[in-house]
Chain A
Amino acid sequence: MNDHLCVSFRFLAPWFHGRGDQGTPEWPPSPFRAFQALVAAAARAGTLGTSRSALEWLEALSPPAVLAHPADRAAVGYRLSVPHNAMDVVGRQWAAGKEGEASKHRAMKDVRPMRLPEEAAVHFLWDLSGLDPAAVRGHAQSLVAAAKGVVALGWGLDLVVGDGALISSTERTALANPEQGAAPEAWEPRPGAPLRLRTPTKGTLADLDRRHEAFSRRTSLADPTLRPPPALSEFAVIGYARNGEQAPARVAAFTLMHPLADRMRSFDTARQGMVVAGMVRHAARNVAGRAGWDSDRIRAVVLGHGEAPGAAPEATPGPRLVLVPLPSLEMRGDRGEIVSGIRRVMMYSTDSNSPDIDWAQRALGGADLVDEKTGEVRAVMATASRHERGFGRYLGTARRWATVTPVVLPGLDDPGGLIKRLRSTEDPAEQRQILARLSRRREGLVRKALRQAGMPDQLAFTAEIETRAVGFLAGTERSDRYSVPQHLRSFPRFHVRITWSRNVTGPVCIGRGRFSGLGLFAIAA
């Protein structure tokens, strides 16, 4: 049964210049762009009137899935000097016998396209299950005709060949998994996904009509006043994520500012990380109290205590905040990139849907970090955005990650005294055997830590894991030099590097000290 409308665009050159909101390169092209292209093609073919009901039907459907070959942003752009259409000014100068200054009437245009593979394609797939087949067929005919008339998608030089068809689920699967050539990536609408694309909605076509009408009247030779047409407003902005892609964690982000000067405040990662975590927790507790949270909620969510006051310690069963001081990763001339001091903090919840994150972002901006011993205000938490510099390496997507603070393993790596045996034996074969057992034991504990942190089994058990006392990232210290809370000092701690077979989205923070920023990973270059 043909229960999908597929509209396809095949690029004739491996470049795409279309830009999304904020002028950033857009990929995949948005469903709104595809809809606009269909409208323009119908208008140019003189069939907009007869296609109107089909387009209105399409705009009201749920947002489509998108299959698109992966694209990379061009590493460098270039700047074109393009002429203003003002040669009449120069013509006047020539007519008056002057030299004329044609070079003045130019504008600079920055070009930085997405680079596509050869013969790249993008397919938009609307699910038509449950809709009246007769209506579907009628509308599809108009839409397919319009699709075949689309000649460009993106800028005018992004020439494409357009096509459309009603296809079955089997054909859709075949499209996503071609026998020959590279498979496209499948993008699905997903609430909260970081990639936001415009999609058409009821009223979009009428809005496009209005804008086109206003554009047609923006200026004329008879009346040169420029009247910019109003921006489009009838569209939805929907999150899109690749199939199987982890939903990005919602985080509250803060920069640590000096209390008396307009600059960031830095704390030594190894020696003061726990202090910072403690001050942040203290600040969160105070702010939560002032916001009217009851003591049980504060104990559970902020402090992570699931037990009743005075009872034996017990982890909270419900969601709790993870407070993570973030060391900076910065370039230091010839030394390259190093891990340096803590200048930022992020918070997230063990429950990704918890409203506590939004509360934290709103409530903790401006909170003082106070040294509990001296009462001194050591820093102020300034609200930041997760998209700012400093957060990307912790929240991005990559296959390889390495610790900036060591992982405190959730168990003893040497209950059988292997290290003692290692030191006492001189037999190389036995030494190798012991080291291999230790390594396996530590790997097992890291996998346990991954699962405890909420990572799916598939990721926890397929990761390639390396552990050692010395860090994998420049600027980290030996794992035993990091301050840890008293109750964790008996547990082994190591730096870890993990390589997954597919991309994983941060934050990645595991092990027994994860609620205070120990076991924090950054993307390893």
Chain B
Amino acid sequence: MSEGFTKIESLIADSGDLPAAMVLREYLVPVEGKDGVLFPPTFAAAENSKDFPGGYNIDSLGEGRNVCLIDSVGSQANRIEPLFAAPPYNVLVPQIVVTAGSRKINLLEAGHRAGDAIVRCSSLREDLQRAFQALKAGNAMPLAKIAPTSLVFGVWDSRDTQAKAPRLLAATVRAFNVSKLTRSAQYNPATEYVEEGLLEDTDDKSALKSYSERGFRHVPASATHGGVIAQGEVRREVTLQLAALRLLRGPSPDDTSRLRGYLLGLALTAFTKPALGFLRQGCNLVLDAQKAPEFQVVYASGKRERAGVTHEMALDFAKKAATTFGVEKGREVAFDKTLAKEETADDKKKGKKAKEKVAKAAP
């Protein structure tokens, strides 16, 4: 850590000239090398396709420069949070699993975290309701006992109490000055079905379409998205909001201290965990060995100082803080369908239309 403070624990105090945030900038490269092709996410077109026709999100910065979104804040959060389901991190948080039929959903994977309807419609319903009500009243301890990562990554109990907690952690990956590539491909069927007499030769368009959909005809795909090459940097930027952490309180000053220490440990662990390399097919990023990550603390005045917390330091702190806080035992709870919302008439209509579409395309 910087000369400004020597203990991670000091970050959770209420007073003093303490950093308001930590920011980490990691430089990444594709595993293929600095000039390797990487595949950004492909986004759907906006309702008005003139606003955004769909595809990669590449924003011009003028003068020939651009920035391309490689992984959004939400997507990064969905990758980071499940790390607490696996060793050695799984001892830090209670493992809450909801079973519905043959499916098992870990709370760490639920889209809306502790506010997710699948969790709220289980035997945890009342515990969570009490925890969210306590949060609204200024006591974050109960929620931290059941679902601490909800306080790290942010939560909104939109189906019940409407309690909200802002995220402490946000990460995003962007590539700068990218050149967009296209690629073409050709699907060739295993044999010439028509020439071999295995299928009827026809000019009927819908039959030909049906043949193509089932892989019986050659299908070219030209000038489709072919990834990008980053001429500039690929950067992962992570922010840890310490001021938000200091807004979380327990029923007493000691509880507050234990609570903040515990959440800080989780947040720092997530913050310092080396970036997950495989984001999607064609996008496997690793740290750039030529460029060290930059770690800064930011004060309310805007002053920035270099600092450094290693992942080992963070995990060590997190384990101690978790022991002091007392991590609840994990639970497997059953989904209670009597508490769940019924499928609406609209949902049924949409589902029926989707089924009809599939049926039409079937041979």
Residues of A within 8 A of B (CB): 8, 10, 12-13, 41, 44-46, 74-83, 85-98, 100-101, 104-105, 108, 110, 112, 115, 119, 121, 148-152, 156-157, 159, 161-163, 215-221, 224
Contact = CB atoms under 8 A, between A and B. Distances in A.
Nearest to A93: B343
A82 B158 CA distance: 14
A177 to B, nearest CB: 16
Contacts of A10: 298, 302
A100 B298 CA distance: 46
B162 A94 contact: no
Contact of B298 (A97, A157, A161, A218): A161
B117 A87 contact: yes
Given A87-B110, A95-B100, A104-B347, A74 B115 contact: no
A221 B120 contact: yes
Contacts of B47: 108, 110
Size range of the interface on B? 35 or more
B216 interface: no
B138 A46 contact: yes
Closest 8 pairs (CB-CB, A-B): A88-B340, A88-B117, A151-B244, A87-B118, A163-B300, A94-B101, A94-B100, A78-B57
Interface stretch (B166-174, B224-232, B274-282): B166-174
Contacts of B347: 89, 101, 104-105
A163 B243 CA distance: 11
Interface in B71-125: 72-74, 98, 100-103, 105, 110-112, 115-118, 120-121, 125
A217 B163 CA distance: 11
B115 A88 contact: no
A91 B167 CA distance: 26
A44 to B, nearest CB: 5
Contact of B335 (A91, A104, A163, A224): A91
B136 A216 contact: yes
B299 interface: yes
B58 interface: yes
Given A149-B243, A161-B299, 5 more contacts: A12-B298, A80-B43, A119-B302, A152-B166, A162-B20
Contacts of A112: 51-52
A79 to B, nearest CB: 5
B252 to A, nearest CB: 13
Interface of B: 20-21, 23, 43-47, 51-52, 54, 57-61, 69, 72-74, 98, 100-103, 105, 110-112, 115-118, 120-121, 125, 129, 136, 138, 154, 158-162, 166-167, 170, 172, 237, 239, 241, 243-244, 246-247, 249, 298-302, 304, 335, 337, 339-343, 347, 350-351, 354
A12 B161 CA distance: 30
Contacts of B340: 88-89, 91-92
A78 B69 contact: yes
B112 A85 contact: yes
A148 B121 contact: no
A147 to B, nearest CB: 8
B29 to A, nearest CB: 22
B247 A45 contact: yes
B300 A148 contact: yes
B125 A221 contact: yes
B109 to A, nearest CB: 11
B338 to A, nearest CB: 10
A127 to B, nearest CB: 22
A77 B20 contact: no
B247 A75 contact: no
Contacts of A224: 159, 341
B140 to A, nearest CB: 10
Contacts of B159: 85, 219-221, 224
A221 B339 contact: yes
B60 A151 contact: no
Contacts of A218: 162
Nearest to B128: A221
Contacts of A78: 43, 52, 57, 69
A159 B241 contact: yes
B345 to A, nearest CB: 12
B111 A221 contact: no
21 contacts: A13-B172, A77-B52, A85-B112, A86-B117, A87-B117, A88-B340, A92-B340, A95-B335, A95-B337, A104-B350, A104-B354, A115-B59, A115-B61, A149-B243, A216-B161, A219-B158, A219-B160, A221-B120, A221-B159, A221-B160, A224-B159
Contacts of A148: 20, 243, 300
A101 B351 contact: yes
Contacts of A215: 162
Given A88-B340, A220-B161, A224-B341, A79 B59 contact: no
Contacts of A8: 302
B50 to A, nearest CB: 11
Contacts of B241: 12, 151-152, 159
The listed residue with most B CB atoms (<10 A of its CB), out of A76, A78, A104, A108, is: A78
B170 A13 contact: yes
A208 to B, nearest CB: 15
B351 A76 contact: no
Contact of B160 (A46, A157, A220): A220
Contacts of A87: 105, 110-112, 116-118
Given A87-B111, A88-B120, A112-B51, A74 B302 contact: no
A490 to B, nearest CB: 46
Nearest to B129: A221
Given A110-B47, A112-B51, A148-B20, A91 B162 contact: no
Given A80-B43, A91-B118, A12 B112 contact: no
A159 B170 contact: yes
A79 B46 contact: yes
A161 B21 contact: yes
Given A78-B52, A148-B20, A89 B342 contact: yes
A126 to B, nearest CB: 18
